[in-house]
Amino acid sequence: MKFKDLDGLEYEFDNISGAIYQSYDYIKEPLPNSDRIIENQKKRRNIINSIMLGNSQKLNINNLTKQYYIDNGIKQLTFKLTDQCNMRCKYCTYSDYYPFTSMYGNQQLKISDALKGVDIYMDVIKKHNSVWTNVELKPTFTFYGGEPLLQFDVIKQIVEYIETKYSKYEAAYLMTTNALLINDEISKFIKKHNFHISISLDGYRENHNRNRVTVAGKGTFEQIDKIIRKYLLDYKNWNIFMCYDFKTDFDRLINRDRFGLGEDYFYDHIAKITLVCDVNTNYYNQFNKIDYNKYVNKIKTIKKSFIDKISNGKDLNFLERIFFEYEFILIDDRNKYTPNYSFYEVPLGNCIPGDKLFLQTDGSFTLCEKVPNYEEFILGDINTGIDIEKVKKLINKINEDFLVKCRNCEISRLCSVCYAMLYKDNDGKFSIDKKICDNQKEILKKKLGIYASLKRKNNSIFDYFYVDRYLNNN
């Protein structure tokens, strides 16, 4: 892919090696730091090149067995405890705005099914740790909903089972919650078992109350604020996840003096800021062109400030850091996108189904909480565990339905394509909106241009964040 930096200098991104070249009339000069990426690719260049040229030398899907999960482990087991929720957030994927996902319902995960899921997951963890003693995995359990605290009794039983049967393992517990149900009992339990709690709080009061409402349509910021102050200010293991859309006032968000209620804890605990999902949805039909243009211009202003500050060694505010810092770190550390193996038609950052497990209320396993509700995404259940034939069938279908079209893509190594972005067309084939691909290429061109400008002026600009583990492991 050819692109220009902020000063108009021309560059090329080599999708095979991951190197970035500055373009001249007769030579190509690697951008500083690219040499270690090129060196690291030598032993893998042939297979990657073959894949990109469309040959059949990608790894044979028949070589994918259950041993893969023993060797690599399963990152976490997430319990979908219930389809119910005590709120009706307007952008929730359960809402009518997202036609391909589940709806609110009355299903609840049975404790017997949950415990079977624990045993299946822990069997893989035990086998992995017995073989790979130098890279032992810590079992991680995440509680999800709907609203998971509606099933607090089930959570207690699951944790008790884990800590009784698997007491020698230091299990980690995570939960995403709207926090409205936290009380004395739940607070003590969370703290006793060292839960990592992520609370959904959309910034300042008016922005939160615009979308995060009760079943009766009433804003919830004031209730959550009281609960945080009563139960969580003396606890360290909690953070805030925030969503934003075209109506969010970023100037107010970064201004402590204007933030209002919650200012004293928001900035210390904000961990993630995410655009309301814009894939396979009609949520954004409610906004007009003025809203959109205002939003785009504000993002450009924040990006300009980020470039100026990081170029001159100035401190970033939390919004600049969360919005842009990590994106450029991923480009700088792009070697992580080079797979040691790939069952896909192109080398990309997509997961192998089963790297994480999401246990649904009916006892079936799917990829994660974000994927559409398609039968093909069911990987097994609490009676069979991961069905390796279903995993193979899904990867084959993804390859045949649309990844074959990506063989000549110029940016597949930096692509963030994900199962959550897919939809089925009228022929039952998985596809991704062409606008998403085109938009991603344009965005990456601009990011690469900014990245090249920053690296050219200061080659060590991202070294404070760089982790060399990918190179050291080869």
pLDDT of residue 25: 52
Question: Would you mind telling me the total number of residues written for the chain in this entry?
Answer: 474
pLDDT of residue 409: 86
Q: Are 91 and 211 in contact (CB under 8 A)?
A: yes
Greatest Cα pair distance in the chain: 71
Tell me the DSSP string of 346-392: S--SPPPTTSSEEE-TTSEEES-TTS---GGG--EETTTEE-HHHHH
- As a whole number of angstroms, the distance between CA 293 and CA 312 comes to 29
% of the chain at pLDDT higher than 90: 61
pLDDT of residue 417: 79
Q: Which residues of the chain have pLDDT under 70?
A: 24-58, 335-341, 347-349, 464-474
- β-pair type (357-359, 364-366): antiparallel
pLDDT of residue 335: 62
Q: Are 376 and 397 in contact (CB under 8 A)?
A: yes
Report residue 171 as tokens.
């299990």
pLDDT of residue 340: 42
Q: Which residues on adjacent β-strands are paired with residue 144?
A: 80
pLDDT of residue 42: 37
pLDDT of residue 16: 73
* pTM (2 d.p.): 0.87
Nearest Cα to Cα of residue 150 among 189, 181, 107: 181
- As a whole number of angstroms, the distance between CA 448 and CA 99 comes to 34
Report how far apart, in Å, the C-alpha atoms of 435 and of each of 169, 286, 406 are. 46, 19, 14
Report how far apart, in Å, the C-alpha atoms of 374 and of each of 91, 99, 379 are. 21, 12, 11
Question: What letters, b where the CB count within 10 A reaches 16 and e where it falls short, cover 219-238?
Answer: bbbeebbebbeebbeeeeeb
**CA contacts within 13 A on the Cβ side of 331:** 23
pLDDT of residue 422: 87
Tell me the DSSP string of 271-328: EEEEEPP-SS--GGGGS-HHHHHHHHHHHHHHHHHHHHHHHTTPPPPHHHIIIIIHHH
Residue given tokens 């999902």 in the structure block = 277
